[in-house]
């Protein structure tokens, strides 16, 4: 058994975690290319994802929060909505450059979440059986390279900043776009509410998913959680866990393979472009 397959077994509890098929790899590459074209992909995505989550940018969208998969967009969306005095219509979780491109064209307040390649790619590969490291690195690079010339249209928020200081991200957004959205204050009350909601996201409750998109109030979302049994800790796939950490550790050897050197360097260059530019903008 390969290192990658072993990691997937740790993640999926011994289920089907074999190597990705050629067809699955081809689908990933085709989707990656398709998502770079708003005129094509967004109409398709609206039919495929009618809501409540993901939510595709439409005429009612007020804010966009999106980025490459496994980059803390879930935490960002919940933290943002928790801090608002009213539900805000947010486009999110499409994980497609097309959504961010269209947001830039419309001048919408937009938070682009980003995570360093190793963390994002290892998390993606472990969680998605149809993806291997090389393909994920390629997709990561394509995603960010396609948005590089639009970088100044977004507020770029690194994974660690989203998780530990999301309030500063919203303040930057308000300053950039002249908005006055509520700022997540990282208080124990708000953090506890965010962890609870995010921790139950894997239930795929229409109420919780509606809260993400701004069609359900916080009071309604919290009341819903009181009325249903919680999912078990083992099923909280949107939260950090010991099993996930062990699965990522099992991929460390595969990540160091020489065959990935060029792909990793390309991904690091893409990540550096966004984060270094962001650092320069802040100073």
pLDDT at residue 242, as a whole number: 66
What are 212-236's pLDDT values in tens digits? 999 999 999 999 998 887 764 444 5
Q: Alpha helix locations (H) across 113-233?
A: 117-127, 133-145, 159-164, 166-177, 188-199, 206-213, 218-227
pLDDT at residue 280, as a whole number: 44
The pLDDT mean for the chain works out to 88
- 8 A C-beta contact, residue 169 and residue 114: no
Average of pLDDT values for 107-133?
Answer: 93
Q: Distance between CA 228 and CA 226 in Å, rounded?
A: 6
pLDDT at 272 over 90: yes
Q: What percent of the chain has pLDDT over 90?
A: 72
pLDDT at 1 over 80: no
pLDDT at residue 25, as a whole number: 86
pLDDT at 169 over 60: yes
pLDDT at residue 45, as a whole number: 98
**Least confident span in 15-24, 93-102, 103-112, 186-195:** 15-24
pTM metric for this prediction = 0.88
């Amino acid at each position: 058994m390969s290192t990658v397959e072993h990691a997937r077994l740790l993640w999926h509890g011994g289920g089907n975690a074999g190597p990705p098929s050629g067809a699955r790899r081809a689908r990933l590459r085709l989707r990656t290319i398709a998502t770079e074209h708003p005129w094509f992909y967004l109409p398709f995505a609206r039919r495929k994802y009618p809501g409540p989550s993901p939510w595709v940018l439409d005429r009612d969208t007020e804010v966009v929060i999106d980025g490459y998969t496994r980059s803390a967009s879930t935490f960002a969306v919940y933290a943002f909505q928790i801090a608002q005095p009213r539900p805000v219509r947010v486009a999110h979780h499409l994980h497609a450059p097309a959504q961010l491109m269209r947001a830039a064209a419309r001048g919408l307040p937009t938070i682009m979440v980003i995570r360093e390649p190793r963390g994002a790619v290892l998390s993606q590969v472990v969680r998605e059986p149809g993806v291997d490291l090389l393909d994920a690195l390629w997709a990561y690079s394509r995603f960010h390279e396609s948005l590089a010339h639009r970088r100044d249209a977004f507020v770029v928020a690194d994974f660690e900043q989203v998780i530990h200081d999301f309030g500063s991200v919203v303040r930057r957004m308000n300053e950039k776009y002249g908005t006055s959205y509520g700022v997540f204050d990282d208080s124990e009350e708000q953090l506890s509410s965010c962890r609870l909601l995010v921790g139950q996201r894997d239930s795929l409750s229409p109420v919780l998913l509606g809260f993400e998109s701004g069609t359900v109030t916080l009071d309604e979302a919290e009341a819903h959680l009181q009325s249903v049994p919680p999912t078990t800790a083992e099923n909280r796939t949107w939260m950090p866990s010991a099993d996930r950490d062990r699965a990522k550790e099992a991929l460390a050897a595969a990540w160091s393979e020489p065959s990935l050197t060029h792909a990793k360097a390309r991904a690091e260059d893409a990540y550096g472009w966004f984060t270094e530019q962001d650092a320069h903008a802040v100073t």
